[in-house]
Amino acid sequence: MKVLPFTIPKPKNVTLYIDHYKGDTFYEKLHQHKEIQISLVLSGEGTFVIGDCVGDYKANDIFVIGENLPHVFKRDHNSEIETEMISIFFSKNCFGENFFELPEFDHFQLFLNDAVLGLKVQSNKEKLITAISKIKNDSKFDQFLNFMNILNLISRAEIKKLSSLINLKKYAGNEGKRMSDIFQYTMDNFHKEISLHDVAYIANMTPNAFCRYFKQRTTKTFVNFLIDIRIGNACKLLAKNNDLSITEISYKSGFNNLANFNRKFKALKGITPSEYRRKR
């Protein structure tokens, strides 16, 4: 099955496509689409990959994902909370070729341009949660007005850029399938020992060829990508499981050496695991 690119199932007579998902899991394959995506997580928690950024998501998180930016949201399988997300899909020319170039929308430009790297909204969240939560049930005209309000709120909010990708590559066909398989395998097995031979086998490549391939497409080495996922999992365990020792968390996150875990954690987060736990 060709996983990338992914086609949003938007009816022909719909300008904005609103998707309200509720179930056991998100669409957990690495994918990309030509639409810009604004997503509000209503419930559930897990790990996201957006471009070359790996992090965790939880209820009330709001993301903006630019056109053709590879991404995946993977729910924590041990979470008992049902997954629910509302997503708005649109393009820069959905209301006409030059619509967003009107002077009235000058303050949208920075956030629309930055969306190509993926964004996480840090402020104005209460108003945005209210607006995004009701857009699904709005009339067509009210959806448009609400959408303009949502863009206005995001453009004036504090935002965090997620990806450091500079040259975004549009994956297609077999390459999309290969990248999806690599991401899926890594996110399913990060808590185990993963060798370059293991993941190169998944990609049907030699280890040396795989290392070059992955770095060219993600701007980071596979080893660093794997560490990002492992540290992200450790952060979730540190924040939620006070009954687990740091040693136990390091092993559950795929590290077989506590000193190495502490060193990698501090290099990525700027503080030790113990300090991270106290701040949470």
Q: How confident is the model at residue 56 (pLDDT cuts 50, 70, 90)?
A: confident
- Domain assignment present for 184: no
- Domain assignment present for 255: yes
- Same domain for 153 and 25: yes
CATH number for the domain spanning 28: value is 2.60.120.280
d(CA 137, CA 261): 47
- Same domain for 250 and 202: yes
Q: pLDDT at position 3, please?
A: 39
Q: Burial of 222 by CB count in 10 Å (0-12 exposed, 13-18 middle, 19+ buried)?
A: buried
Q: What is the pLDDT of residues 153-203, one digit of tens each?
A: 999 999 999 987 554 555 655 676 788 788 889 988 999 999 999 999 999
Tally the domains of the chain. Answer: 2
Residues spanned by the domain of 208? 190-279
Rounded to two decimals, what is the model's pTM? 0.78
Q: pLDDT at position 24, please?
A: 66
Q: pLDDT at position 148, please?
A: 96
- Element of type H or E holding 239: helix 222-240
**Cα-trace Rg, the chain:** 20
Q: Give the torsion sign (CA, 251, 71, 48, 269).
A: positive
| Cβ proximity of 93 and 35 under 8 Å | no
| Cβ proximity of 181 and 203 under 8 Å | yes
- Domain assignment present for 173: no
- Same domain for 209 and 79: no
Q: Using CA atoms of 250, 251, 255, 260 in order, give the dihedral in degrees to the nearest 10.
A: 50
Q: How confident is the model at residue 70 (pLDDT cuts 50, 70, 90)?
A: confident
- Same domain for 219 and 120: no
- Domain assignment present for 3: no
Mean pLDDT of 117-122: 94
Q: pLDDT at position 149, please?
A: 96
Peptide bond into 5 cis (omega under 30): yes
Q: What is the pLDDT of residues 215-251, one digit of tens each?
A: 888 778 999 999 998 998 899 889 888 889 999 999 9
User: Which segment of 70-79, 80-89, 111-120, 123-132 scores lowest on mean pLDDT?
Assistant: 70-79
Residue 200: count of CB within 10 angstroms of its CB: 20
- Same domain for 112 and 21: yes
pLDDT at 130 over 50: yes
CATH number for the domain spanning 212: value is 1.10.10.60
Write down which residue in 161, 182, 213 finishes a domain: 161
Compute the mean pLDDT over every residue in the chain, rounded to the nearest whole number: 87
Quick one: which of 200, 187, 164 has its CA closest to 253? Answer: 187
B/e letters for 67-101, b = 16+ CB within 10 Å, e = fewer, are bbbbbbbbbbeeeeeebbbbbbbbbbebbeeeebe
- Same domain for 149 and 196: no
How are strands ordered across the β-sheet holding 159-161?
17-23, 83-90, 36-43, 62-65, 119-121, 159-161
Bridge partners for 48 per DSSP: 55, 73
